[in-house]
Amino acid sequence: MARAGQAVPRRPGRHHLARGLGEDLRAVDQQAAGARVSGATTDEGQVEQRHDLAHVPLTSPSKTSGVLEVFRRRYLLRLLVRREIRARYAGTGFGLAWSYINPLTRFLTFYAVFGLLLGRGMGLENFAIHLFAGMVLVLYFSETVTAGTRSLLSNKAVIGKMAMPREMFPVASMLVSLWHTFPMMVILTVACLLTGWFGDGPAWHPDLLGFGAAALGFLLMMVYGTALGLMFSTINVIFRDFQRIVATFMNMIQFSAPMMYPYFLIADGRRIPVEYHDIYVGNPVAVAVMLIQRGFWYPTCSPACAVDPETGADLPEFVGDLYSRGFIMLGIGVLLLVLGQFVFSRLEKSVPERL
């Protein structure tokens, strides 16, 4: 009982209990948050100390080492090549069969015109094969350069969505062109095999040196086509009319090689001055065409492939130092590829905003 004269103490209200619990809970939360921050800071410090993250520079997720990085990502390169091949024949009834129908029709036309109507074709034996062998490489080079020039613009949707080396698109265009060239090589090989059965000359007698020459010719066009495709693709993004200029020059490139005419017309000095002969044989396309003709057309001929129709004298089929010129052109092509990579790297920074 309370003593007399003293007031009875008041009972605390319910809100006093709630207020007290709230303050206690807030204090606990602040302590836990402080412990987490302290622990996180300690962990980050340990990670930075272990990996020295404070001194690691920021890098672009798509930073590459050029064309070499493209072949390190072979899986992605295969996807791009398959995508372009399927897109070309999408919606067609015959599909991939057109890869064989078109070159077969072209060769039969050459055979009918140059093999049957025009005889030996300016003094050349099996002139249709001479022409078709050169056209295989010329078409491959032209398609590689023109498709490589358009490659960045054609794939602008992919470029905007994925961080990947942009050199992959010109390289993929080169591989797609190579894939389309394979049916032409099959038809050329079959035509060479049939020359001994349907022609007056000997059967096709290929040799390893000739196959090496043909491989060197293809390698030349692969290197030069890729180099120009790299260089032109970025220029075409900045200057959109550039692809039409390239296509115009590619239409004229077929006349710069001994394909529709024999080499001896250039070598005899009667059509062009002798001082321009070195400029002519300094053309890598002309050298590559003669290399593939050495591998496929030359083994279908008699010992004298080129004969003067008036005098019957033997004429030169190829330039004298063909193989050495081929390797010199290959070295120059590698330097051109380095230059193409340099131009691509310098102009690549402006590609996303221009697309």
Span 180-204, pLDDT tens digits: 899 889 999 998 888 867 656 667 8
The pLDDT, as a whole number, for residue 304 is 64
**Of the candidates 240, 282, 80, the residue with the CA atom closest to the CA atom of residue 153:** 240
Which two structure tokens, joined as six digits, stand for 354? Answer: 């221009």
Instruction: Report the alpha-carbon distance of residue 144 to residue 247 in Å, rounded.
Output: 11
Q: Which residues contact 273 (CB under 8 A, 6 or more apart)?
A: none
298 has a pLDDT exceeding 70: yes
Flag the least confident range among 4-8, 171-175, 178-182, 326-330: 4-8
Instruction: Report the alpha-carbon distance of residue 9 to residue 281 in Å, rounded.
Output: 117
The pLDDT, as a whole number, for residue 175 is 92
Flag the least confident range among 145-154, 155-164, 220-229, 305-314: 305-314
Kindly tell me the sign of the dihedral angle through the C-alpha atoms of 96, 97, 98, 100: positive
Domain range list for the chain:
67-354
Instruction: Report the alpha-carbon distance of residue 67 to residue 233 in Å, rounded.
Output: 14
Which residues sit opposite 124 in a β-bridge? 306
pLDDT classification of 105: cutoffs 50, 70, 90: confident
Q: What is the mean pLDDT of residues 56-73?
A: 65
Angle between helical axes of 284-295 and 127-154 (0-180°, round to 10): 130
The pLDDT, as a whole number, for residue 268 is 75
Kindly tell me the sign of the dihedral angle through the C-alpha atoms of 208, 202, 106, 257: positive
The pLDDT, as a whole number, for residue 310 is 57
243: left (phi over 0), alpha (psi -120 to 50) or beta: alpha
Q: Which residues contact 82 (CB under 8 A, 6 or more apart)?
A: none
At 240-273, the pLDDT tens digits run 889 999 999 998 898 889 988 888 888 877 677 7
Looking at every residue in the chain, the average pLDDT score rounds to 78
Length of the chain: 355
At residue 124, φ and ψ (nearest 5 deg) are -110, 135
Buried b (16+ CB within 10 A) or exposed e, 150-175: bbbbbbeeebeeeebbbbbbbbbbbb
349 has a pLDDT exceeding 60: yes
The pLDDT, as a whole number, for residue 53 is 45
Contact in structure between 152 and 165 (CB atoms under 8 Å): no
Which two structure tokens, joined as six digits, stand for 60? Answer: 């672009």
Q: Which residues contact 127 (CB under 8 A, 6 or more apart)?
A: 114, 115, 118, 120, 121
Q: What is the mean pLDDT of residues 132-146?
A: 93
The pLDDT, as a whole number, for residue 217 is 95
**Of the candidates 59, 86, 65, 84, the residue with the CA atom closest to the CA atom of residue 169:** 84
At 67-90, the pLDDT tens digits run 777 778 888 888 888 888 887 777
Q: What's the CA angle centered on 160, arms 82 and 140, to 5 degrees?
A: 35
* Three-class DSSP category at 306: strand
pLDDT classification of 37: cutoffs 50, 70, 90: very low
Contact in structure between 87 and 176 (CB atoms under 8 Å): no
Position with higher pLDDT, 315 vs 152: 152
56 has a pLDDT exceeding 70: no
Q: Which helix (H) or strand (E) holds 33?
A: helix 14-51
